[in-house]
Amino acid sequence: MDAATITTWMTEIESSVRAEKDHLVQLDAAIGDGDHGTNMARGFEAVVQALAADTGSPPGRLLVVAGRTLVSTVGGASGPLWGSALRAGGRVLGDHATFDGDQLADVLAAALASVKDLGTASLGDKTMVDALEPAVEALRARLAAGDPVDAAIEAAGTAAEAGMRATIPLQARKGRASYLGERSIGHQDPGATSTALIVRALQRAVANRG
């Protein structure tokens, strides 16, 4: 996998976030302030533009640029969180022109670590962590078990969606939803939902690699 994989990943995220924009807004309106869909769409639209301008950078560098772009265009909680996540993930790849499955797992693990570090959320707090952490673990486990990267990332997507659905019964402890206390129970977390979209987008990008 190489720079094209990253560019495709970002384009895939942009189109699926745009397609799911209203759904994400509805989810956020129920337990937040109704802007998650707009925030993510605005951010990844800017990322796609930024990467279009960038020609010939290595994949790690592209992820850093994508992260910076999110930080500088999204605002809200998701901007700095996903922004730092992609920056951290990009640094893992350094200047390598290509990367393999294990390195991809390292990228996602670094992204997860930076989200948890910045946001201080743990599994079960009803945040994006609840989708991202199971995805990282599934990816690692399947690769360790010798599965090909496509199968492993497919499992990661399934794990992310399971984690996303698992947020429904939870009471939020982080983010705006936590202000609702028990009223946050019974609603799916918007950030976990967009995270599942992001992992599924990665799966398509990996599948389409040259």
Partner 1 sequence: MAVETNLMRKFLNEPALVVKQSLAGLAAAHPDLLRYDAAAQIVVRKDAPKKGKVALISGGGSGHEPLHGGFVGTGMLDAACPGEVFTSPVPAQMLAATKAVDGGAGVVHIVKNYTGDVLNFKLAAEDAADEGVKVTSVVIDDDVAVQDSLYTAGRRGVGATVLAEKIAGAAAESGAGLAQVTDTVKRVNERARSFGVALSSCVPPASGKPIFDLPEGEIELGIGIHGEPGRKRATLQSASDVVDVMVDAVISDLKPRSGSNLLVFVNGMGGTPLIELYLLYGEVDAKLRKAGLKPVRNLVGSYITSLEMAGASLTVLELDDELTRLWDAPVHTPALRWGV
Contacts of 79 (CB under 8 A, 6+ apart): 39, 43, 70, 71, 73
Supply the angle between the helices 21-31 and 190-207 in degrees, to the nearest 10: 150
Smallest gap from residue 83 Cβ to Mg ion (A): 15
Q: Does 91 bind partner 1 (CB under 8 A)?
A: no
If the CB atoms of residues 131 and 205 are measured against partner 1, the closer one turns out to be: 131
Determine the Cα–Cα distance for residues 181 and 172; give it in Å rounded to an integer.
7
What does the buried/exposed string (b/e) look like for 82-103 if buried means 16 or more CB atoms within 10 Å of the residue's CB?
Answer: bbbbbbbbbbbbeeeeebebeb
Site for partner 1 in 118-157 (CB under 8 A): 118-119, 125
Considering only CA atoms, give the Rg of the chain.
Answer: 16
If the CB atoms of residues 4 and 113 are measured against partner 1, the closer one turns out to be: 113
Q: Which of 16, 78, 84, 184 binds ligand ADP (CB under 6 A)?
A: 78
Q: Which of 33, 100, 117, 150 binds partner 1 (CB under 8 A)?
A: 33
- The label of the residue with tokens 């950030």 reads 191
Smallest gap from residue 42 Cβ to Mg ion (A): 12
- Contacting residues toward Mg ion, per CB under 5 A: 28, 32-33, 35-36, 76
- Contacting residues toward ligand ADP, per CB under 6 A: 28, 32-33, 35-36, 39, 76-78, 81, 115, 119, 121, 127-129, 174-176, 189-192
